[in-house]
């Protein structure tokens, strides 16, 4: 069991003192959490929604979806423990501030819960990190990750609320690349539809790499803290979950994705309207995300 390393949490009980960072697996969330907490200002709560690692979340699916109005205690109470600082876990406690007045919760399994989180824990700043799907998918496949697509779309409420027009395409996917790509689409399409512009802070990995000061200033303002130029000195450091030879990069995936897969990616993204955000180019178009935001409200 991992040794508990969380410090004294002076904000215990107050979810508004939590910054919630979400993103798909392999999108750079661990790297970004390290930038946000570059000065150990926050108590770090690492991926508490992992049902196989945190006992309180054993009843959650690996990609749990809940409608915003769901008030079931078996879901509310574990999450309340995590976002108010009451959760202590050998898996989730990863350090940060020794005496903390704020906390940073980072999770790659909570994208489909963000609308529910905002409804049930108002005033908690939520940050969603997006990265080019080909970068995410090629990284997952290189690491041998298995997909959980079947479990994800077995959730009837999720399909009914967001995925009915594309359900047949998702269920027909057999190729591992395509299955992970559909997961990326679901993971990002759902939260975009659940928030109006400005209600959640969108970060794009590529913009953070290419224009770090501008993007970090925006992010820091959203979470309510002053910008500290010392964070810029941490930009080149890989996260603890990166491969040994990996550094923050925007186009390293191109050597792993051939033209046929790039074309197929465009087709699948187009089913969701996500091709307005990411296309054959490396960088994102934020206006494509803004066009989708709030569509499901």
Share of the chain above pLDDT 90, in %: 90
Determine phi and psi for 43, rounding to 5 degrees. -75, 130
The average pLDDT across 285-290 equals 97
Extract the tokens encoding 241.
Answer: 């979950």
| Per-residue pLDDT at 1 exceeds 50 | no
Spelled out in words, what is the top-level CATH class assigned to the domain 8-292? alpha beta
The length of the chain is: 297
Local confidence band at 144 (pLDDT 50, 70, 90 cut-offs): very high
**CB-CB neighbours of 232 under 10 Å:** 14
Residue pair 121/34 in contact (Cβ under 8 Å)? The answer is: no
Extract the tokens encoding 115.
Answer: 């609308």
Local confidence band at 3 (pLDDT 50, 70, 90 cut-offs): very low
Q: What is the pLDDT of residue 225?
A: 94
Q: How many angstroms separate the CA atoms of 89 and 91, rounded?
A: 5
Q: How far from 163 is each of 99, 158, 171, 186, 275, CA to CA, in Å? A: 44, 7, 11, 8, 16
What tens digit of pLDDT does each residue of 85-104 get?
A: 999 999 999 889 999 999 99
What tens digit of pLDDT does each residue of 228-282 get?
A: 999 999 998 766 666 555 567 899 999 999 999 999 999 999 999 999 999 988 8
Domain boundaries, the chain: 8-292
Q: What is the pLDDT of residue 4?
A: 47
């Amino acid at each position: 069991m991992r040794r508990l390393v969380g410090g004294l949490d002076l904000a215990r009980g107050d979810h508004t003192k939590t910054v919630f960072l979400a993103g798909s697996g392999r999108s750079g969330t661990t790297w970004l959490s390290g930038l946000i907490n570059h000065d150990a200002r926050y108590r770090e709560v690492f991926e508490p929604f992992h049902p196989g690692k945190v006992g309180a979340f054993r009843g959650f699916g690996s990609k749990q979806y809940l409608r915003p109005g769901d008030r079931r205690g078996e879901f509310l109470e574990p999450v309340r423990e995590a976002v108010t600082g009451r959760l202590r876990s050998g898996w989730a406690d990863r350090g940060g501030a020794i005496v903390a007045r704020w906390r940073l919760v980072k999770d790659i399994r909570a994208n489909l819960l963000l609308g529910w989180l905002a409804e049930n824990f108002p005033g908690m700043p939520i940050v969603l990190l997006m990265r080019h799907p080909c970068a995410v998918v090629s990284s997952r496949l290189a690491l041998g990750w298995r997909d959980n697509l079947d479990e994800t779309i077995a959730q009837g409420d999720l399909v009914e609320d967001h995925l009915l027009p594309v359900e047949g395409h998702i269920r027909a996917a057999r190729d591992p690349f395509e299955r992970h790509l559909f997961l990326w689409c679901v993971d990002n399409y759902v939260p975009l539809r659940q928030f109006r512009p400005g209600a959640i802070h969108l970060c794009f990995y590529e913009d953070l790499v290419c224009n770090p000061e501008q993007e970090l200033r925006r992010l820091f303002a959203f979470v309510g803290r002053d910008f500290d130029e010392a964070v810029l000195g941490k930009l080149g450091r890989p996260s603890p979950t990166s491969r040994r030879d990996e550094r923050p990069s925007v186009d390293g995936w191109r050597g792993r994705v051939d033209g046929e897969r790039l074309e197929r990616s465009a087709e699948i993204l187009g089913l969701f309207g996500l091709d307005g955000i990411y296309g054959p180019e490396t960088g994102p178009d934020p206006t494509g995300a803004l066009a989708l935001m709030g569509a499901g409200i």
